[in-house]
Amino acid sequence: VRLVGSEMCIRDRNYIYSILALFIIAQPVFSQDLGSVKIGVVDVNKLLQESPQFQDMQSAIEEEFAPRVRDIEAKESAFTEARDKLTQDNLALSNDERQNASLKLASDQRELEYLANSFQEDRNNRIQIETNKILVDMINAINKFGRDNGYDLIINEGRLSQNTLLNGGTLYKGASVDITNDIAKVLEKNFQDSKSGG
């Protein structure tokens, strides 16, 4: 029991040291003169929705899928007409005729549901692929803008769908605010210390 307790104390102590080390390493970034740090915020969702690229993409996809929409609408119309006719002629039909007509209607309804679902899925996938292409171009433009205008950090404020390649966070960071390598060194040292039992 003492051994387990002492191992936990070592782990807790190492955790505290890690937090302190992170704070010490991050200190130069936080202690910079805030007037000299240039930070920008971009609402990528708004930028995307209002961009001419996005509007053009939506129009192109609507045009691409228009024949399928017309086909589904024609089948829906035929289905509604057949259903109404069955309701109207129900009493005049024999049992076999009524049963055959009902089976045909059920089959047509299943086909319609399949067509509508596959249309929706194909259309959504196409929109997602094209949206991600636009986002890549936008991120490249934001990075160039950040470099050209001396920004240290540009972050995304807008919320995007989880299906897109970008869900939020940093869009651009200058070298002065990137402490990834410093943190990696701390983690490496902590790992080596834990292996050596220190």
CB neighbourhood size of 151 (10 A): 20
According to the 3-state scheme, what is the secondary structure of the chain? CHHHHHHHHHHHHHHHHHHHHHHHHHHHHHCCCHHHCCEEEECHHHHHHHCHHHHHHHHHHHHHHHHHHHHHHHHHHHHHHHHHHHHHHHHHCCHHHHHHHHHHHHHHHHHHHHHHHHHHHHHHHHHHHHHHHHHHHHHHHHHHHHHHCCCCEEEECCCCCCCCCCCCEEEEECHHHCCHHHHHHHHHHHHHHHHHCC
What pTM did the predictor assign? 0.63
The yes-or-no verdict on residue 135 having pLDDT over 80 is yes
Q: What tokens does 100 get?
A: 């055959």
Under DSSP, the state recorded for 34 is G
- For 4-50, the pLDDT digits (tens) are 444 545 555 555 545 544 444 444 444 445 568 888 888 888 888 88
Q: Percent of the chain beyond pLDDT 90?
A: 29
| 37-46, 52-61, 93-102, 158-167: which is most confident | 52-61
Least confident span in 25-29, 97-101, 141-145, 165-169: 25-29
The yes-or-no verdict on residue 187 having pLDDT over 50 is yes
Report which of 69, 80, 186, 178 is spatially closest to residue 118, judged by C-alpha positions: 69
pLDDT at residue 24, rounded to an integer:
47
Rounded mean pLDDT, 95-106: 89
Rounded mean pLDDT, 74-84: 93
